[in-house]
Structure 1
């Protein structure tokens, strides 16, 4: 059984270690975050603090977009877009990593505290009963302060999150 996390598509580009996990993992990715990749690719705003890192991440974003646009992957993604909350077939990312795109819907449930993409992450996490994996410390704080009933891991704790599930399963 693979470990599951809800996360944003851009995390795959920024954090290459997500593609080579220590065990099987499946990322559930809201479709809106796939669309966000196009905005990030076309933006002149830097994503990273250092030019070299920014250039690298933007090239990884382009690679991910190209991968999503491959005919088989595009077909899988387009199929899930016909119904709210439908999920794509599995998209392989590497040896032990795979992704499923979910056609999540922002229902404004958390409109005051969270932006639309954050809301879709929260709702996807609740709907699938899967923890969120993010690098946004402020988001983690707002989830805790708002008492939102989801489990969330900082991306720096990815290895721990993978071990945590294995520990729970074996005990």
Structure 2
């Protein structure tokens, strides 16, 4: 059984370790965060602090977009867009990593505290009963302060989160 996380598509471009985990992992990604890749690719604003890192990440974003636009992957993604909360078929990212796109819906349930993509992450996490994986410290703080009933891991704790899932699945049986 693979470990599952809800995360944004851009995390795959920024954090290469997510694509080469030590054990199987599946990422559930809201479709709106896939659309955000196009905005980030065309943005003049830097995503990273150093120009070399920014160019590298934007290159990885372009690669990810191109991968999503391959006919088979595009077909998988488009099928899930017909209904709210529908999921795509699995999209392979590497030997141990795979992704499922979900057509999540922002219900404005969390008001002004969270932006639309953050709201979709929260709702997807609650709906799928899976932890969120993010690099946004402020988001983690707002989740804790708002007592939002989701589990969240900082991306720096990815290896721990992977182990945590293995331990809990062993103790659940």
TM range (shorter): over 0.9
* CA displacement at 1:112 relative to structure 2: 1.9
- Name the counterpart of 2:164: 164
SS of corresponding position for 1:5 = strand
Specify the alignment match of 1:77 in structure 2: 77
Deviations 1:82-122 (Å, cap 9, x if unpaired)? 00000000000000000000000000000221000000000
SS at match of 1:95: coil
For 2:66, the equivalent position in structure 1 comes to: 66
TM-score under structure 1 normalisation? Answer: 0.99
- Distance in 2 (alpha carbons) for counterparts of 1:170 and 1:110: 34
Q: CA deviation at 1:168?
A: 1.3
Asked if 1:148 corresponds to 2:148, the answer is yes
Unmatched segments (≥5 aa) in structure 2: none
Aligned mates of 2:133, 2:151 — CA distance in 1: 9
Alignment of 1:43-62 (within 5 A): 43-62=43-62
- Structure 1 ranges of 4+ moved more than 3 A: none
User: Which residue in the other structure is 2:102 paired with?
Assistant: 102
Q: Under a length normalisation based on structure 2, what TM-score does the superposition of the two structures give?
A: 0.98
Aligned residues: 171
**1:22 Cα deviation (Å)?**
1.0
Matched residue of 1:44: which SS?
A: coil
Which residue number in structure 2 is paired with residue 116 of structure 1?
116
Structure 1 counterpart SS, 2:100? strand
Cα distance between partner residues in 2 of 1:126 and 1:165: 17
Cα distance in 1 for partners of 2:140, 2:123 equals 15
Work out the CA distance in 2 between the residues paired with 1:80 and 1:111.
26
Aligned partners of 2:19 and 2:84: how far apart in 1? Answer: 27
Identify unmatched segments of 5+ residues in structure 1.
Answer: none
CA distance in 1 between counterparts of 2:75 and 2:170 reads 37
Shift of 1:170: 2.0
User: Following the alignment from structure 2 to structure 1, what is the Cα–Cα distance between the partners of residues 59 and 151?
Assistant: 31
Partner of 2:23: 23
